[in-house]
A and B are shown apart, each in its own frame.
Chain A
Amino acid sequence: MRKHTLKNREPEVLHVTENESLEVTVEKGSECFLVLREEGRAAVGVLNAQYLFRVDENAKLNLTWVQECGETPELHQNLTIHQAEGSEVNVQSISLGSKLAKMQAETHLNGPNAKTHWRMSQIGFDQQILDNNVAVYHHHPSTESCVESFNIVGGEAKVLFDNLVKIDPAGKKSKALQTNKNLLISKRAFARSVPQLEIQTDDVECRHGSTTSTVGDDQLYYLESRGLTPDQARSMLVDGFAEPVLQSIPQLELRNEIRAKLRTRLLEEDTPWN
């Protein structure tokens, strides 16, 4: 496994183009920014990526995880984050490519007052299968987690999202929020979300919710009645859906780049609207 220590306040970008096994340390009290860009190629039949993050006491990590594996036939991502007391981790995860992508992500809140916030967006088209499993374990008291996902599914793609939050007996006064939203933009698109809560103590605050919707005719008409063309209206609706994730990316240039890629991908999508 390749080991890497992040430098305080210096944003870093790591590119993953072939099988990878990476261990990252965020040292005590530091504040680090990492962009992990997975850019697989069609020639790589199966791409395996394993990441282990250790976030020490009172450290902060912002991780922007962009998967743009395009035509890579198969991608397996495995990410584990261990957070110490008082640490804070914000993750923005955007999955754009690969024909079959399976992500297993776990966050372990290993000390009191550790916090984690995941904002994720899976964008599936054609016949992609994107399967994300995210689990958060509250092992200590007064820990907080928030997992939000906003998935856009077109063509005949399938997007699956399983989210487990487990609060141990020691996890009193912990808070957990799970929100999942799926937007289906073609008739043959499919989305399945399974939020799960396992609570083994009392005096916790937990909420979860999941919705699946289509681009509404009424919404399109409203925008068109204000002068937008049907394409502009549709773009605005679909763009807007992933905006909560895009807005949370701290690097403006990267945010705009991802936004532009998403727009290009939407324009390439030729699934008939009806």
Chain B
Amino acid sequence: MTQSQQPLFEIKDLHVEVEGKKILNGVSLKILPGSVHAIMGRNGSGKSTLAYALMGHPKYKITQGQILLEGEDITALSATERARKRVFLGFQHPVGIPGVTVANFLRASVRAVRGSEMGPKEFRAKVREELKRLHIPESFMNRSINEGFSGGERKRLETLQLKLLEPKIAILDEMDSGLDIDALKDIASELETSRSQDRSFLLITHYQRLLNYIKPDEVHVFLGGKIVKSGTESLARELETRGYEWAEEAARA
């Protein structure tokens, strides 16, 4: 493997428990720089558990395995530390936080993750630019985080955060859930434009429709807490027509 093909993000034989119950049973995955991987599977297959475990949620106990970012073992790091190393999780159901404005939150978050990279003037200009691209009115900046936001508005705010924090690896947990066609188009196209050699994506999704906009380099089927089948983009289309049962049977064979 050449230097340029070293994985940006690697999951090695990851086993995870939640409240004493085993959910992940040996997940292994290598994500090269600038690549997009999609994980697809039924409800209850462990996809969201994977997302939370990768982002250091304290409820998700890693009992075996490693998570590596640019070769560095981040398995024992907290969520705060992982965020500061530019790991990003886009939540399926982003939580509301009354009394904390979007503006204050973004300012604090950018300062925490990017330090003094961006001065106040540059920050304001960047925020304005991204608000416009994501069709978010500026009035949102004075609202409490996610309070009274529709599903589409919450996902737009998640995308805005991704654009500002510039992660190396973005794990997006069912980013397309709860979105109408227009919202999906807006968000997905912004995500697609933020693809670069400096950023990889791990998309967790039920449906193929997100992948119409963000073309994956690899698709993986998740079953029973691990990856049971991998393929190219065509695997996603095949799942759409043949269902998960086909893939699961093939994996068992």
Q: Give A contacts to B, CB under 8 Å.
A: 150, 181, 216, 218-219, 221-230, 232, 236-237, 239-244
| Residues of A with C-beta under 8 A to B95 | 216, 218-219, 222
B105 touches A242 (CB 8 A): no
**Shortest distance in angstroms between B106's beta carbon and chain A's nearest beta carbon?**
9
Q: Would you list which residues of chain B between 63 and 121 have a CB under 8 Å from chain A?
A: 78-80, 82-84, 89, 91, 94-101, 104-105, 108-109, 112-113
| Residues of B with C-beta under 8 A to A223 | 97, 105, 109
Contact flag A241-B99 (CB < 8 Å), given A222-B91, A224-B78: yes
B104 touches A224 (CB 8 A): no
| Residues of B with C-beta under 8 A to A236 | 100, 104-105, 108
B83 touches A225 (CB 8 A): yes
| Residues of A with C-beta under 8 A to B83 | 224-227
Distance between Cα atoms of A244 and B143 in the complex (Å): 12
Nearest-CB residue, chain A, relative to B161: A226
Which one of A150, A221, A237, A242 contacts B79 once the chains associate, using CB atoms below 8 Å? A221
A226 touches B99 (CB 8 A): no
A228 touches B99 (CB 8 A): no
Task: Enumerate the 4 nearest inter-chain pairs by beta-carbon distance, A residue then B residue, closest first.
Answer: A240-B99, A227-B112, A240-B100, A226-B109
A225 touches B100 (CB 8 A): no
**Shortest distance in angstroms between A39's beta carbon and chain B's nearest beta carbon?**
27
Distance between Cα atoms of A242 and B94 in the complex (Å): 22
**Shortest distance in angstroms between A103's beta carbon and chain B's nearest beta carbon?**
23
Distance between Cα atoms of A223 and B83 in the complex (Å): 10
Q: Does B230 contact A (CB under 8 A)?
A: no
Q: Does B28 contact A (CB under 8 A)?
A: no
Distance between Cα atoms of A244 and B98 in the complex (Å): 10
13 additional A-B pairs beyond A227-B83, A232-B108, A241-B98, beta carbons within 8 Å, are: A219-B97, A225-B80, A225-B82, A226-B161, A227-B80, A227-B109, A227-B112, A229-B80, A236-B105, A236-B108, A237-B97, A241-B99, A243-B100
Range, interface on chain B: 20 to 34
Distance between Cα atoms of A154 and B58 in the complex (Å): 24
Chain A at the B interface: mostly helix, strand, loop or mixed?
helix
Q: Does B144 contact A (CB under 8 A)?
A: yes
B89 touches A225 (CB 8 A): yes
Q: List 18 A-B contacts (CB under 8 A).
A: A150-B99, A218-B95, A222-B97, A223-B97, A224-B78, A224-B80, A225-B79, A225-B89, A226-B83, A226-B105, A226-B165, A227-B109, A227-B113, A228-B109, A229-B112, A237-B99, A241-B98, A241-B99
Nearest-CB residue, chain A, relative to B97: A219
Distance between Cα atoms of A240 and B97 in the complex (Å): 9
A243 touches B99 (CB 8 A): yes
Q: Contact string, B11-36, partner A, CB cutoff 8 A, digits 1/0?
A: 00000000000000000000000000
Distance between Cα atoms of A65 and B84 in the complex (Å): 41
Nearest-CB residue, chain A, relative to B99: A240
Q: Does B195 contact A (CB under 8 A)?
A: no
| Residues of B with C-beta under 8 A to A244 | 99
Distance between Cα atoms of A228 and B84 in the complex (Å): 9
Distance between Cα atoms of A118 and B135 in the complex (Å): 36
Nearest-CB residue, chain B, relative to A244: B99
Distance between Cα atoms of A236 and B109 in the complex (Å): 11
| Residues of B with C-beta under 8 A to A227 | 80, 83-84, 109, 112-113, 165
